A and B are shown apart, each in its own frame.
Chain A
Amino acid sequence: GENVEQHPSTLSVQEGDSAVIKCTYSDSASNYFPWYKQELGKRPQLIIDIRSNVGEKKDQRIAVTLNKTAKHFSLHITETQPEDSAVYFCAAITLTGGFKTIFGAGTRLFVKA
C-alpha cells in the first residue's frame, strides 16, 4: 500500500540554525502535501502545505519544497527558535478511497537555546 517515509526521526539544532526534514511518498496520485506541528500533548496543527502544481512555498521562516518526479518533499525552518521544538509530521493526500491522508512517522525537533 501507499506509505510516506520521513527522516530524520530526531533532529537537534542550535537556536538560529536551520532545520530540514525530508519526506518521500510512494503514490504518484498524491497531489497535496501538508506539514503539521504537534506540541507535547496537543493536537497536530497545520503549519504549511503545498500542492502538486507548485514546486516551492514559503511563509516567513518556514518553507516547503516539492519534487514530484522524485516524490520528495521537504520542510525547511530557518532561524530556529526554542518554540519551534515539537514533533513535525509530513503527509501526502492520495486520490484513491476518498482523499485518504498518509502521515510520515514524525520528526522530533529540539532547538537548543
Chain B
Amino acid sequence: SQTIHQWPATLVQPVGSPLSLECTVEGTSNPNLYWYRQAAGRGLQLLFYSVGIGQISSEVPQNLSASRPQDRQFILSSKKLLLSDSGFYLCASDATGGAGVNEQFFGPGTRLTVL
C-alpha cells in the first residue's frame, strides 16, 4: 500500500512569512495528489489536486499555491501567510485503477499556526 510523508509535522509562522510544505508518496506511481486543509473542528476543504507532473487544479481562491515537480512530490506554498491560513494540512494520494477507484491515503498532516 501507499505511504505518504509530510513535513514538517508542526509549524508556527508569523503573518506575512512564506510557507513551504512538502509531501512525498511511496508505493505507487502516477498517483493523483491532493492538498486539504482542516480548520479546527471543521471538515476537509480541498485546496488543490494534481493528476500528473506540472498539472495543478485549484479549488478555492486563496494566497496559497501548489506545485508538482516530480511524480510523487507535491508542494504547498505561500509567499505571505495570513492568520486564516492556520489549520491542519493534509496531503492525500490515490491511484486511478481503471474501472476500480482506489481509496485515498492520507499523510500524517502538518499543523500550521500563523501568529
What residues of chain A have their CB less than 8 Å away from a CB belonging to chain B?
A: 6, 31-32, 34, 42-46, 49, 51, 89, 91, 93, 97-106, 108
Which single residue of chain B is at the shortest CB-CB distance from A53?
B99
Q: Interface with A: B21-29, B73-81, B102-110, which one?
A: B102-110
Interface of A: prevailing SS: strand
Q: Are B44 and A44 in contact (CB under 8 A)?
A: yes
Q: How far is the CA of A106 from the CA of B57 in the complex (A)?
A: 24
Q: How far is the CA of A108 from the CA of B41 in the complex (A)?
A: 9
Contact for B103 among A34, A42, A106, CB less than 8 A: A34
Residues of B within 8 A of A105 (CB): 42-43
Which single residue of chain B is at the shortest CB-CB distance from A33?
B101
Contact for A101 among B43, B46, B108, CB less than 8 A: B46
What residues of chain B have their CB less than 8 Å away from a CB belonging to chain A?
A: 32, 34, 36, 41-44, 46, 49, 51, 57, 90, 92, 94, 96, 100-101, 103-104, 106-109
Q: Are B101 and A31 in contact (CB under 8 A)?
A: yes
A-B residue pair count with CB separations less than 8 angstroms: 55
Q: Are B101 and A103 in contact (CB under 8 A)?
A: no
Contact for B104 among A6, A98, A101, CB less than 8 A: A101
Which single residue of chain B is at the shortest CB-CB distance from A44?
B106
Which single residue of chain A is at the shortest CB-CB distance from B105?
A46
**Given A43-B109, A105-B42, are A98 and B32 neighbors across the interface (CB < 8 Å)?**
yes
14 further A-B pairs in the complex, CB-CB below 8 A; given A43-B109, A98-B51, A106-B42: A6-B43, A42-B109, A43-B90, A44-B106, A45-B106, A51-B100, A93-B101, A97-B57, A98-B32, A100-B32, A101-B34, A103-B43, A103-B46, A108-B41
Residues of B within 8 A of A97 (CB): 49, 51, 57
User: How far does the Cβ of A85 sit from chain B's closest Cβ, in whole Å?
Assistant: 14
